[in-house]
Amino acid sequence: MENADVRPTGPALPTGRGDLSYGVARALRGRPGSGTPFPPCGTADDAAPYGEDLHLALYLCYELHYRGFCGVDPAWEWDPALLAFRAGLERHFLDALRADTKRRTDIDEALADLLVESPDGASASHYLRDEGELWHLREYAAQRSVYHLKEADPHAWVIPRLRGRAKAAMAAVEFAEFGAGRADRMHSRLYAGLMTDLGLDTTYGRYVDMATGEMLASVNLMSMFGLHRALRGALVGHFAAGEVVASPTSRRLAEAMRRVDAGEAAVRFYAEHVAGDAAHEQLVRHEVVGGLLEEEPWLETDVAFGIDATAVLDARLAEKLLPAWRDGLSGLRTPL
């Protein structure tokens, strides 16, 4: 019997970028349990762990837990064959992250390292503040929309997995991210206003096909950490890392938006994060991280891993964007 919930709503399935992502997209066009074969598990192990094909395939799997795709049966969300295939992708991604991060337990040191600026200021926000033109900001906003149009959603999954101080503080920060009860103040809604000022389409999922593998990897990191209870410490580390860098990064991006006269809503999105995220940083450091480790001190290494994995993927995205922009080229897969 056909599932009555399979409706022509939600974003369209993105175009595949290789055997893994084509295989997932092909399966999702059919019915769960119909026997549509996925690529062999060994294919994931042969793929680049940070590559576009693997991360689009993983993104397709994860997006079923958010809004799904137009015409795709929602029963795919918990299809055993799809979950088994996804597990192979996750394992390959996690193995690479663990190999590329330090194994440490000093949380304060890991967070402090995030604010150490390289001599050439090698971050997208530095470049956009100092040299960025309007087209650079439009590209950056389109790419970041893959996350910001569902901002705070991946982190909400960790709330049931926390207790005590950590749970209360995490809920408080997420409440603010979701607009403190006002739909017009939700950060995802504010980001849509920024996109409108920049002349971009605010449709959810509109720019996935243009987003680089590096951007998809950053979004997948949040989803992977959020969906696995075993990775709750890493999710808290990721969340803490985001709050630490958010205020200075947002200040630079607000200055960039003002400099190119991007528009009031474009400036507002980042300007509001400057003070708000500075306050959130202290709450996350002392109550979310502190509360978690008070209850479960054995998760200290996982929290540090979440911080360092975030830094690895942020650096990879900057390494993708900056050389292209400095050469006058688009940092997207296809230019706007």
Full set of structural domains in the chain with CATH: 19-98 (no CATH), 105-326 (1.20.910.10)
Q: 3-class SS at 289?
A: helix
277 confidence band (pLDDT: 50, 70, 90): low
Work out the average pLDDT over 314-332.
96
pLDDT at 1: 40
pLDDT at 280: 81
Tell me if 47 sits within 8 A of 24, measured CB to CB.
no
Tokens of 299: 């998760």
Among 131-140, 232-241, 266-275, where is mean pLDDT lowest? 266-275
HSE-CB of 6 using CA atoms within 13 angstroms: 14
Q: How far apart are the first and last CA of the chain?
A: 42
- Give the percent of the chain with pLDDT over 90: 80
246 confidence band (pLDDT: 50, 70, 90): confident
> How much helix, strand and coil, in percent to the nearest 5, is found in the chain?
70, 0, 30
Whether 153 has a pLDDT exceeding 90, the answer reads: yes
pLDDT at 279: 74
102 confidence band (pLDDT: 50, 70, 90): confident
pLDDT at 41: 65
Whether 120 has a pLDDT exceeding 70, the answer reads: no
Whether 209 has a pLDDT exceeding 50, the answer reads: yes
Classify the C-alpha dihedral 152-222-281-116 as positive or negative.
negative
215 confidence band (pLDDT: 50, 70, 90): very high
Work out the average pLDDT over 118-131.
82
119 confidence band (pLDDT: 50, 70, 90): low
Other beta carbons less than 10 A from residue 180's beta carbon: 10
| CB-based contacts of 60, cutoff 8 Å, min separation 6 | 13, 14, 21, 24, 25, 28, 69
Whether 69 has a pLDDT exceeding 60, the answer reads: yes
Q: Please give the backbone phi and psi of residue 122, each rounded to the nearest 5 degrees, phi first.
A: -80, 70
Whether 6 has a pLDDT exceeding 80, the answer reads: no
CA dist 235 and 233 (Å) reads: 5
Whether 241 has a pLDDT exceeding 60, the answer reads: yes
| CB-based contacts of 261, cutoff 8 Å, min separation 6 | none
Work out the average pLDDT over 206-212.
97
Rounded mean pLDDT of the chain? 92
Q: Which amino acid is at 176?
A: A
Whether 8 has a pLDDT exceeding 80, the answer reads: no
Tell me if 318 sits within 8 A of 249, measured CB to CB.
no
Q: Which amino acid is at 167?
A: K
Tokens of 158: 């960790």
Q: Which amino acid is at 304?
A: A
Cα 89 to Cα 5, 64, 199, 223, distances in angstroms = 28, 16, 35, 13
274 vs 40, more confident: 274
Strand boundaries in the chain, DSSP class E: none
Work out the average pLDDT over 67-95.
95
116 vs 45, more confident: 45
Question: pLDDT by residue (tens digit) across 279-296?
Answer: 788 889 899 999 999 999
Q: Tokens 């403190």 appear where?
A: 180
Tell me if 141 sits within 8 A of 194, measured CB to CB.
yes
Work out the average pLDDT over 225-230.
98
35 vs 190, more confident: 190
| CB-based contacts of 30, cutoff 8 Å, min separation 6 | 36
**198-228 burial, b for 16+ CB within 10 Å, e for fewer?**
bebeeebbbbbebbbbbbbbbbbbbbbbbbe
Cα 171 to Cα 54, 190, 221, 303, 315, distances in angstroms = 32, 20, 21, 18, 29
